Structure 1
């Protein structure tokens, strides 16, 4: 166990992303903030840092508790960070809102097909 590691490696080991390249891409696009600052994938992360991760519709705000460079089980990954109470409350309200109403366009990835457009028009009426 070391004191610091790359942020993309930590995100992958903490199971926020399935692959390290997806984590690297998210950091490059600015979907990951460290201490409220955009960083590069090779930036070091250490215990105590505040990481904000936006993945799809969900946003997590977590504090780094420990550093592991190897990806382990989900139970081990959850010991690497602690989610802030504000983040937990925000994610719970978003989940509750999704239960009652889901944006029809959220299920479409990329450009909608003719069938997707017909379904969107049907859902609006």
Structure 2
């Protein structure tokens, strides 16, 4: 880890080193596609990451909000990569709530072996409206 005060690490390289993305090319694509926000705003791939910065990363269905704790430009094992950041408590709670909501939706709406008919679509839409927070 490069804990130097003057270390300059690009956002795509830090995301790769922190193991959010498997390659720097995937990190670059995610940043350019708006899936990554630095301090609440879209940023460029070459944005210099600073200690204490807040980064929001969308991976699949989940949004993770992390605070940068250390800088590194080398990709290491997962235990070391997790030392580079800390996920916020609100982010963890939100992810767990969304996971539970998706699980309940899947139980209430088993996968159909056919295209849902009009009645089934109405039932799914009613369930979504009832379970979505206002």
Structure 2: unaligned runs, 5 residues or longer: 107-111, 122-134
The unaligned stretches of length 5 or more in structure 1 are 103-117
Q: Which residue of 1 aligns with 2:105?
A: 101
Q: Could you tell me the TM-score, scaled by structure 2's length?
A: 0.75
Greater CA radius of gyration, 1 or 2? 2
RMSD after superposition: 2.1
Q: 1:100 to 1:48 in 2, by over 3 A?
A: same
1:79 corresponding residue in structure 2: 83
Please list every run of at least 4 consecutive aligned residues from structure 1 whose deviation after the TM superposition is greater than 4 angstroms: 122-125
Change in CA separation of 1:119 and 1:17 when aligned onto 2, cut-off 3 Å = farther
Separation (CA, whole Å) in 2 of partners of 1:97 and 1:39: 31
Match of 1:121 among 112, 115, 118: 115
Q: Distance in 1 between matches of 2:35 and 2:102?
A: 21
Structure 1 residue 68 corresponds to structure 2 residue 62: no
